[in-house]
């Protein structure tokens, strides 16, 4: 027999005063999405265990001392959640300011939109505010690590580590504001355990990790997502049958991703599938 | 795991340091010689990630720093990816991954020491040894506040050694030769050079009526016989009479709440853990006492180590734990030595191990040393640290009693909390509750600094009458860096009383500030402390603590309302949106200083 | 080096290839086929269809062979890798596909990776294995080398190359002697147990240890873990199939599943991992000499009749030549014309010099490819094709039998054209006016003929992100595993019982001796692929070129160091390559890939000893000698 998922009990929660019914085990974020609420997220990844590090998704749960991260906190029966309360908005605003003042969010999708929506002013900390600015690490021909854009969300580490790739080429090193994503002894990727699967790039929410093609095209000013098509097809290498989404601009493949809900890949690829398209 | 190594080799000494801890490698794949059998079959190595921190200590203790060769060897031995091990090693401030001298001086510049002239000492050290970073470091609180200002030298070698300078004065610094401190007997030594008898930290030592401190300065902390002659192990016998459920009932009835700062009812925690169907259960004693201004746990551990061993045994009995971890901060060499000795002695006398006192109880304690990370005192970060991960707090729920150490139900209690269990069982819950003892760490502008034992309800003024004050008292910092400044002295020293006064009892810190102390400088030091100790996991704390410090720097130069607004907004966000208590409390003291002391009033 | 795409047709004139128009090239191609059929009959033609192209292309390719030409001489490079898996599985179960789905590997209790370096060769499949391991499954790796896969194993068994049957037999004997075999399943669902029991009886743990080199305790542990598991997956790759007795190897593993009942249930099964994107589909589409589309037996008159009525031409009622037999036929002058689509046998076949000689004896060679490969350079006509996976529409079928949509994302370069268009144009010139309005129309023709694909409309394939065969109905889905019938209590539903195979150990053909003392085994690396034609197109930071990998002990004995160029010789050829030290090898065992044939022609060393049933060559076991080069001067 094929084991069936045990039926999940449904629970009722209130999101901004609106009753929503979600399966037990759902997160507050799931419930918010079910209620049609747009809660911002950065470190949340649909293929990863929530790390709830960025805290932009915080919501107010009635009776709780602190705000709760929607992405990881489980919804409980009878829970009353405010996604748009003054306190939650204020926290999101300051978190966006803290991120915007320390990190280059220029390639983070929706960052500008949220900054405007919450009235965040990253400039308020002055010109001397510490940042993570640093030169991009370009140490191989496949992908680039521009840690000036890194919000330390841990997604790349989790994708490289035990959640998917199990290669463990990178980890968080150091502590506090000085913490960085690093190989051992900050060795270049070419001298690390990296196998260039690009699964870290796939999950990076800010563009800190990007394919060399995209990085170069952005530098040249030729990167134009409005001119790109996305077509999902099957990898041409081994017989596993990984689904590739080809991002094509001017009849050239400029980026390869994989659908996150695909039963074969779950959004992951290997070096050949991700980068081995050069021959066409 | 298919680990990839860059190929750095350990020195013989580094290899020996690791092998002394782990034993020789079992197979070629773990760093041993290649045998015929290795090339024909290989079994998965036993999970031993939790030995990473001890292995890093082993190398750092022997060599003084951890080379890439040593780290790779540790990784091979324990099957740990080098990038992960590097991430862990760089988390702790006591480890260095760059060459450094064998002997390194840690000069405390934290609150209690600053209130007692640490700046002069620090400047003198810099004058003698050059800028910090190599031969010496500025250190967060070393837990020797009663002898402030303090400094601690740690020297690598076999055995590694420590020397205490407390109080450190410009004169004592001048006498530091940089040579090895004198050897003090065979390892593990129970004494540390430069230390003074523990009872000097307990002004009440020997007074009748003391409960928690009654043996300190009275019995020989090395002697199990002394301990037993002074009432030791009667509580455990009583526990066996009551049975596990009876012990929990007694603790519940006593009303004991956690002394680590969160004040959660201990009995409820034990009851919840004992009920968990998942096994094994673990006990963790949180002896990572690092809140600036706190030193009571050190004094208890140094002066009455068997009390903690007995208390842990009782907790384990009540909650069904076969294994306990005693996680002690890395800056406590004497407490570490004495507890190691006490654990070994108790084990050799059948008071730990199998069939304790012939009652069929099986329990043992493993001591784990921290390595310089305040955050590891957070109740879930301590699990990650023991497991060999970066000491980052976990999200709650799930709570430790459900999923704690190694994902199993875990009871985590602070040292002071645990030792309170002894009088509860010895006297009975009611008698205990009638005069519930609480320890306070008094430092700063007082005549007789030290650990004081009071019954709950004593007012702050009464306490200061006992200690005597010096100069003109301007404020008292209650609860440490995560606490708050108060000026009102008639508040009762209870959890409720301090809460009503907008403060917290926290870890029992009573740091008296007189009018000679530069408050702005003190606030900056608090901000620096949180910035240094933030683990970096969540944005509000990682960036917020930096922005708080930057704003305080600006405010110390020029008071600007926009910076005050900024501080409040950032502070509130840290409080609301940080993952753990560090970020949530990082703004407390600054806020109270602004609101109550008018530090930035124009 | 990297290859340039073919952008226009080429024809040979005065011994050299020159640019030609499509019209001229197609006419030349068709003319040559006509000429050879007229002179030597349809069986002088052979088609090598492309395991990397779509199901639709393969369907048209085999239809071209059977209908336009009138022969069953169609095969694909399946032959060089997994034909033995298909042969073995279909002999036992009547169907050549792997029995399980990837998801089941995550939900199983014991995973045996036998002769499979999936960590590097099938990385995304291995992610499913890792999920299984993280969920508590025990993994066993059987491989001469301690590969990345083996390093994840609970237990690695480092057997001698080519001793898989003794090891499997010893596992079986241990299971039987420990009373751990599944008697009820054996009784109901299998035949030939008694003979099998007798055949494995001599293989005691001690006897097996002597032959395989694997310590008895390790064999025992594998046997007990596999037999005791509630669910167990047995996965293999080329370590099993690239041997001269490969089908026997496959049967030896299937025996273990029959013995323990680890087949036909959720979580228990047999998974051969396919080496090329559409090897599974090529065979499913009938691009093999003995099956019609839908893996239907050519010798069944009823089935043939169905196809004949749709195709309008009789099908020869006999099996055609497989790749190996085609090559032999070329040598003997029986095969004179060949249509080669996307295949590069000059560099992928064992004993490559012999292959070149055979191809050069052809009267007419048409190569349809995206590159001017070594094989294309020998052709009379070269037809530039589109790259199936991104310049064409269609479907591929993966190792878990999942048919998935391939979609066109790019326009092919220059004059390159879609495979199906090219074949239809040649067919038209040979009197068959085929018209297909896109790949979907081809697919629907296939669906009408193949019951196991019938329920797979393009719409459903898109919606469900692929469907595993069999899928006979448009309204429902079958379980993800095959052969559940074996567990039915009703004998009628249970169907044909699965036969145990009585097998004999046959050591590698290329014997080790004093002159050739080292065992060379071959395989893939993570970032490269087969003959490197595709994978050379990107700048992999991992690529270090071809090397000969050896253990530190051998390197020391030979007095060579990492990076040093050495000479490697077998009884067939000699190459030079730099040394790479791999502690995962043991003394006497060396390793190479065939990813860089232009720099190091590893297949000059390998032996063309082929499996008599499936025709696969023994890439995994050559005898070689490694010598230090004496520096000139």
Q: Where are the domains of chain B?
A: 12-89, 103-176, 224-432, 436-514, 519-597
**Same domain membership, residue C430 and residue C370:** yes
Q: For position B169, what pLDDT does the model report?
A: 85
Q: Is C79 a residue whose pLDDT tops 60?
A: no
* A154 and A120 fall within a common domain: no
Predicted confidence at residue C595, as pLDDT, reads 80
Q: How confident is the model at residue C1 (pLDDT cuts 50, 70, 90)?
A: very low
- Name the 3-class secondary structure at B458: coil
* Percentage of chain C lying above the pLDDT 70 cut: 96
Percent of chain C whose pLDDT exceeds 90: 77
pLDDT at C424: 96
pLDDT of residue C56: 95
**Same-domain pairing of A148 and A248:** yes
Chain B residues closer than 8 Å to A192 by CB: 4, 6, 83
Assign residue A201 the CATH number of its domain: 3.30.70.20
Q: What pLDDT does C349 receive?
A: 67
CATH code, residues B436-514? 3.10.20.600
Residues A196 and A243 occupy one common structural domain: yes
Q: Give me the pLDDT at residue C276, please.
A: 77
Considering the domain architecture, whether residues A124 and A184 belong to the same structural domain is answered as: no
Which residues on chain B are in Cβ contact (under 8 Å) with C148? 2
Tell me what ipTM this predicted complex has: 0.95
SS3 C345: helix
For residue C568, pLDDT over 60 is answered with: yes
What's the pLDDT score for residue C558?
Answer: 95
In which domain, by residue range, is C205 found? 83-272
Residues A1 and A43 in one domain: yes
Count the domains in chain A: 2
Q: Which token pair is A171?
A: 């980890």
Last residue of a domain, one of A77, A107, A131: A131
- The candidate with the shortest Cα–Cα distance to C395, out of C99, C632, C57, is C57
- Of B1, B34, B41, nearest to C157 by CB-CB distance is B41
Query: How far, CA to CA in Å, does B223 sit from each of B219, B345, B426, C557?
Result: 8, 9, 21, 61
- For C297, residues 6+ apart whose C-beta sits below 8 A from its C-beta are C290, C291, C303
Are C173 and C66 found together in one domain?
A: no
Six token digits for residue B446:
């007082």
Q: Which of A273, A178, B509, B18 is nearest to C534 (CA)?
A: A273
Q: What rounded mean pLDDT belongs to chain C? A: 92
> Which one has a higher pLDDT value, A117 or C545?
A117
Contact across the interface for C152 and B42, Cβ inside 8 Å: no
Buried-exposed string B558-584: b where 16+ CB fall within 10 A, e elsewhere: eeeeebeebbebbbbbbbbbbbbbbbb
The enclosing domain of C580 has a CATH number of: 2.40.40.20
pLDDT tens digit sequence for C144-198: 999 999 999 999 999 999 999 999 999 999 999 999 999 999 999 999 999 999 9
Instruction: Tell me whether residue C508 is in a domain.
Output: no
Is there a domain that residue A106 lies in? yes
Whether C511 and C623 have beta carbons less than 8 Å apart is answered as yes
- List CB contacts (< 8 A) between C157 and chain B: 40-41
At C349, which CATH number?
A: 3.40.50.740
pLDDT at B56: 98
Angle at C51 between CA C45 and CA C54, to 5 degrees: 105
Using CA atoms, how far apart are residues C438 and C143, in angstroms rounded to an integer?
45
Compute the average pLDDT of residues A156-182.
96
CB contact under 8 A, A55 and B572: no
Candidate from A67, A183, A187 with C-beta closest to B576:
A67
Q: In terms of domains, do A184 and A159 share one?
A: yes
Subunit partners of chain A (3 or more CB pairs within 8 A): B, C
Predicted pLDDT of residue C244: 87
pLDDT higher than threshold 60 for residue C216: yes
Q: Domain for residue A116, yes or no? A: yes
Rounded-to-integer distance, Cα B469 and Cα B466, Å: 9
What is the chain C residue with the closest CA to A229?
C409
Indicate yes or no: CB of C538 within 8 angstroms of CB of A229.
no
Query: In the numeric block, which tokens belong to residue C335?
Result: 């095969």
Sign of the CA dihedral running C90, C94, C96, C99? negative
Q: State the residue for tokens 């995560």.
A: B482
Would C615 be classed as within a structural domain?
yes
Beta strands C589-593; C518-523: pairing state = parallel
Q: Do the chains contact at C398 and A241, CB–CB below 8 Å?
A: yes
Three-state DSSP at B300 gives helix
Residue C406 is assigned to a structural domain of this protein: yes
pLDDT higher than 60, residue A2: no
A121 in the same domain as A80 = yes
Which of the four CATH numbers 1.10.260, 1.10.10, 1.10.287, 2.60.40 does domain B12-89 have?
1.10.10
Could you tell me if C51 and C128 lie in one domain? no
Residues A4, A25: one domain?
yes
Q: Does domain B103-176 have CATH number 3.40.30.10?
A: yes
Say which CATH class B519-597 falls into.
mainly alpha
Give the residues of chain B that fall short of pLDDT 70: 175-189
- Contact with chain C for residue B229, Cβ under 8 A: no
Residues C317 and C227 in one domain: no
- Which residues in chain B touch residue A193, judged by CB atoms under 8 angstroms apart? 3-4, 81-83
Set of chain C residues whose Cβ sits within 8 Å of the Cβ of A251: 410-411
Q: Which chains touch C (3 or more CB pairs under 8 A)?
A: A, B
Evaluate whether residue C474 is within a structural domain: no
- Residue finishing a domain among A83, A100, A131: A131
Residue C412 corresponds to which tokens in the numbers above? 């092919």
Residues C215, B41: C-beta atoms closer than 8 Å? yes
- Kindly identify which residue of chain C lies nearest to residue B42, measuring between CA atoms: C156
Question: CATH code at A24?
Answer: 3.10.20.740
Nearest to C399 among A190, A241, A269 (CB): A241
* Inter-residue contact B3 to B86 (CB < 8 Å): no
Instruction: Clarify whether residues C198 and C329 are in a common domain.
Output: no
Contact C405 A233 (CB under 8 A): yes
CB contact (8 A) between residue B82 and residue A191:
no
For C373, the 3-state DSSP assignment is coil
What's the CA angle centered on A226, arms A220 and A231, to 5 degrees? 105
Q: Tokens 């269990």 belong to which residue? A: B421
What is residue C417's three-state secondary structure? strand
pLDDT digits 0-9 by tens, C596-623: 777 788 888 888 777 777 777 788 889 9
CATH number of the domain residue C88 falls in: 3.40.228.10
For residue C350, name the pLDDT band (cuts at 50, 70, 90): low
SS3 B233: coil
- The total number of structural domains in chain C stands at 3
Chains that touch B (3 or more CB pairs under 8 A): A, C
| Residue C323 CB neighbours (<10 A) | 27
A110, A131, A152: which is the final residue of a domain? A131
More confident residue, A48 or A4: A48
- Within this chain, do residues C112 and C253 fall inside the same structural domain, yes or no? yes
Q: How confident is the model over C360-370, as pLDDT tens digits?
A: 999 999 999 99
Q: How many CB atoms lie within 10 A of CB B307?
A: 29
Q: Clarify whether residues C422 and C460 are in a common domain.
A: yes
Q: Based on the fold, state whether residues C283 and C369 are members of the same structural domain.
A: yes
CB distance from B245 to chain C under 8 Å?
A: no
Strand C574-581 relative to strand C548-550: parallel, antiparallel, unpaired?
Answer: parallel
Are A176 and B535 within 8 A, CB to CB? yes
For residue B246 the two structure tokens come to: 């009876």
CATH: 3.40.50.11540, 3.40.50.1580, 3.90.1150.10, 1.10.1200.10. Which one for B224-432?
3.40.50.11540
Cite the beta strand spans of B151-309 per DSSP E: 151-155, 161-165, 281-287
- For residue C425, being part of any structural domain is answered with yes
Query: Does A262 sit within 8 Å of C407, measured CB to CB?
Result: no
- For the cut 70, the answer to whether the pLDDT of residue C78 exceeds it is no
Helical H segments across B137-193, by residue range:
170-175
Facing residue for B41 by CB, picked from C148, C214, C587: C214
Res C214 pLDDT > 60 = yes
> Which residue is closest to B66 within chain A, CA to CA?
A185
Domain with A120 in it: 1-131
A47 shares a domain with A24: yes
Q: What is the rounded CA–CA span in Å between residue C511 and residue C518? A: 10
């Amino acid at each position: 027999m094929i084991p069936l998922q045990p039926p999940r009990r449904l629970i009722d929660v209130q999101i901004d005063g609106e009753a929503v019914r979600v399966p037990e085990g759902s997160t507050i974020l799931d419930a918010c999405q079910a209620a049609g609420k747009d809660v911002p997220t950065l470190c949340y990844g649909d293929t990863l265990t929530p790390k709830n590090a960025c805290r932009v998704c915080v919501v107010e749960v009635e009776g709780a001392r602190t705000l709760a991260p929607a992405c990881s906190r489980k919804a409980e029966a009878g829970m009353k959640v405010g996604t748009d309360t003054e306190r939650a908005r204020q926290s999101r605003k300051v978190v966006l300011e803290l991120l915007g003042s320390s990190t280059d969010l220029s390639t983070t999708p929706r960052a500008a939109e949220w900054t405007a929506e919450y009235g965040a002013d990253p400039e308020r900390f002055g010109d001397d505010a510490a940042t993570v600015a640093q030169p991009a690490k370009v140490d191989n021909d496949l992908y680039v690590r521009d840690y000036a854009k890194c919000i330390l969300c841990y997604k790349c580490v989790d994708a490289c580590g035990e959640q998917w790739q199990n290669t463990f080429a990178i980890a968080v090193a150091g502590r506090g504001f000085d913490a960085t994503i690093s190989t051992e002894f900050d060795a270049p990727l070419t001298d690390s355990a990296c196998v260039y699967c690009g699964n870290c790039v796939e999950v990076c929410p800010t563009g800190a990790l990007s394919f060399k093609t995209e990085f170069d095209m952005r530098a040249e000013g030729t990167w134009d997502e409005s001119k790109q098509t996305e077509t999902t097809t099957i990898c041409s290498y081994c017989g596993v049958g990984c689904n590739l989404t080809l991002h094509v601009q001017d009849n050239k493949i400029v980026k390869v991703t994989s659908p996150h809900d695909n039963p074969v890949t779950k959004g992951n690829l290997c070096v050949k599938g991700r980068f081995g398209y050069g021959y066409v | 795991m298919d680990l990839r190594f860059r190929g750095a080799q350990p020195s013989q000494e580094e290899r020996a340091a690791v092998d002394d801890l782990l034993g020789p490698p079992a197979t070629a794949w773990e760093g041993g010689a290649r045998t015929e059998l290795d090339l024909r079959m290989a079994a998965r190595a036993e999970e031993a990630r939790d030995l990473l921190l001890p292995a890093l200590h082993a190398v750092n203790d022997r060599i003084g720093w951890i080379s890439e060769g040593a780290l790779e060897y540790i990784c091979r031995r324990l099957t740990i990816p080098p990038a992960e091990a590097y991430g862990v090693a760089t988390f702790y401030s006591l480890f260095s991954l760059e060459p450094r001298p064998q002997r390194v001086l840690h000069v405390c510049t934290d609150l209690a020491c600053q209130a007692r002239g640490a700046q002069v000492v620090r400047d003198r050290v810099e004058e003698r040894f050059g800028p910090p970073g190599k031969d010496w470091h500025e250190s967060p609180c070393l837990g020797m506040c009663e002898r402030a200002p303090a400094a601690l030298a740690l020297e690598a070698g076999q055995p590694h050694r420590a020397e205490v300078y407390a109080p450190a004065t410009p004169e004592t610094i001048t006498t530091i030769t940089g040579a090895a401190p004198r050897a003090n007997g065979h390892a593990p030594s129970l004494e540390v050079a430069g230390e003074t008898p523990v009872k000097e930290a307990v002004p009440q030592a020997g007074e009748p009526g003391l409960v928690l401190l009654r043996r300190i300065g009275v019995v020989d902390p090395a002697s199990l016989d002394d301990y037993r002659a002074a009432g030791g192990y009667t509580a455990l016998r009583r526990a066996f009479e009551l049975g596990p459920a009876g012990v929990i009932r007694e603790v519940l009835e006593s009303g004991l709440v956690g002394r680590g700062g969160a004040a959660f009812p201990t009995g409820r925690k034990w009851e919840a853990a004992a009920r968990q169907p998942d096994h094994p259960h673990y006990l963790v004693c949180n002896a990572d006492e690092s809140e600036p201004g706190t030193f009571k746990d050190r004094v208890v551990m140094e002066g009455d180590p068997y009390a903690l061993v007995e208390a842990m045994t009782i907790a384990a009995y009540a909650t069904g734990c076969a294994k306990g971890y005693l996680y002690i901060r890395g800056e406590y060499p004497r407490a570490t030595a004495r507890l190691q000795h006490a654990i070994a002695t108790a084990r050799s006398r059948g008071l730990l191990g199998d069939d304790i006192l012939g009652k069929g109880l099986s329990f043992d304690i493993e001591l784990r040393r921290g390595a310089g990370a305040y955050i590891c005192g957070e109740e879930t970060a301590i699990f990650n640290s023991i497991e060999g991960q970066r000491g980052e707090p976990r999200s709650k729920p799930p709570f430790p009693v459900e999923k704690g150490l190694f994902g199993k139900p875990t009871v985590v209690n602070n040292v002071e909390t645990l030792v309170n269990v002894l009088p509860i069982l010895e006297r009975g819950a009611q008698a205990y509750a009638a005069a519930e003892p609480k320890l306070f760490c008094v430092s700063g502008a007082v005549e007789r600094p030290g650990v004081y034992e009071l019954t709950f309800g004593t007012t702050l003024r009464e306490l200061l009458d006992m200690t005597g004050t010096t100069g003109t008292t301007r404020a008292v910092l209650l609860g440490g860096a995560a606490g708050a400044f108060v000026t009102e002295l008639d508040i009762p020293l209870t959890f409720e009383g301090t809460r009503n006064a907008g403060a917290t009892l926290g870890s029992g810190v009573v740091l008296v500030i007189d009018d000679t102390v530069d408050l702005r400088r003190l606030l900056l030091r608090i901000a620096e402390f949180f910035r240094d100790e933030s683990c970096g996991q969540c944005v509000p704390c990682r960036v917020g603590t930096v922005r708080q410090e930057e704003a305080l720097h600006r405010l110390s130069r020029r008071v600007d309302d926009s910076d005050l607004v900024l501080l409040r907004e950032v502070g509130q966000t840290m409080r609301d949106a940080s993952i753990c208590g560090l970020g949530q409390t990082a703004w407390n003291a600054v806020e109270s200083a602004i609101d109550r002391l008018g530090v930035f009033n124009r | 080096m990297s290859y340039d795409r073919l952008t226009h047709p080429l024809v040979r004139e005065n011994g050299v290839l020159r640019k030609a128009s499509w019209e001229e090239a197609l006419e030349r191609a068709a003319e040559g086929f006509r000429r050879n059929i007229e002179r030597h009959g349809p069986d002088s033609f052979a088609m090598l269809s492309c395991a990397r192209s779509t199901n639709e292309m393969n369907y048209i390719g085999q239809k071209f062979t059977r209908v336009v030409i009138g022969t069953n001489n169609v095969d694909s490079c399946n032959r060089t890798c997994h034909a033995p898996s298909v042969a073995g599985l279909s002999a036992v179960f009547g169907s050549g596909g792997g029995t399980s789905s990837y998801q089941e590997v995550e939900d199983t209790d014991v995973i045996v990776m036998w002769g499979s370096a999936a960590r590097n060769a099938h990385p995304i499949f291995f992610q499913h294995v890792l999920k299984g391991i993280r969920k508590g499954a025990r993994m066993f790796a059987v491989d001469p080398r301690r590969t990345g896969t083996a390093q994840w194993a609970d237990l690695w068994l480092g057997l001698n190359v080519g001793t898989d049957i003794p090891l499997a037999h010893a596992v079986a004997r241990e299971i039987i002697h420990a009373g751990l075999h599944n008697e009820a399943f054996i009784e109901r669902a299998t035949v030939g147990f008694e003979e099998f029991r007798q055949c494995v009886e001599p293989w005691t743990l001690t006897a097996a240890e002597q032959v395989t080199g694997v310590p008895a305790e390790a064999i025992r542990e594998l046997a007990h873990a596999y037999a005791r598991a509630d669910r167990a997956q047995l996965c293999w790759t080329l370590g099993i199939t690239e041997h001269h007795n490969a089908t026997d190897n496959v049967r030896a593993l299937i025996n273990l599943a029959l013995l323990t009942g680890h087949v036909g249930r959720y979580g228990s099964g047999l998974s051969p991992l396919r080496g090329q994107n559409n090897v599974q589909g090529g065979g499913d589409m009938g691009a093999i000499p003995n099956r019609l589309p839908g893996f239907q037996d050519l010798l069944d008159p009823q089935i043939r009749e169905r196809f004949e009525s749709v195709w309008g031409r009789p099908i020869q009622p006999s099996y055609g030549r497989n790749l190996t037999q085609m090559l032999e036929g070329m040598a003997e002058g029986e095969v004179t014309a060949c249509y080669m689509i996307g295949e590069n046998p000059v560099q992928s076949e064992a004993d490559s010099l012999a292959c070149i000689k055979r191809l050069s004896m052809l009267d007419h060679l048409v190569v349809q490819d995206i590159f001017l490969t070594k094989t294309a350079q020998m052709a009379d006509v070269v037809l530039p094709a589109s790259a199936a996976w991104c310049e064409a529409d269609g479907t591929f079928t993966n190792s878990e039998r999942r048919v998935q949509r391939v979609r066109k994302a790019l326009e092919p370069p220059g004059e390159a054209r879609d495979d199906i268009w090219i074949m239809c144009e040649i067919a038209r010139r040979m009197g068959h006016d085929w018209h297909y309005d896109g790949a979907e129309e081809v697919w629907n023709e296939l669906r009408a003929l193949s019951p196991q694909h019938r329920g797979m409309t393009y719409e459903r394939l898109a919606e469900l992100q692929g469907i595993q065969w069999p899928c006979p109905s448009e309204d429902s889905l079958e379980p993800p595993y095959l052969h559940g019938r074996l567990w039915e209590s009703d004998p009628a539903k249970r169907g044909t019982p699965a036969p145990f195979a009585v097998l004999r150990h046959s050591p590698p053909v290329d014997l080790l001796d004093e002159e050739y003392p080292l065992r060379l085994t071959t395989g893939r690396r993570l970032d490269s692929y087969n003959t490197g034609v595709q994978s050379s197109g990107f700048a992999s930071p991992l690529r270090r070129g071809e090397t000969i990998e050896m253990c530190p002990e051998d390197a020391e004995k030979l007095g060579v160091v990492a990076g040093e160029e050495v000479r490697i010789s077998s009884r067939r050829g000699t190459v030079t390559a730099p040394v790479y030290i791999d502690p995962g090898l043991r003394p006497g065992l060396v390793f190479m890939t065939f990813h860089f044939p232009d720099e190091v022609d590893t297949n000059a060393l390998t032996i063309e000893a082929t499996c008599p049933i499936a025709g696969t060559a023994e890439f995994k076991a050559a005898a070689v000698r490694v010598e230090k080069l004496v520096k000139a001067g």
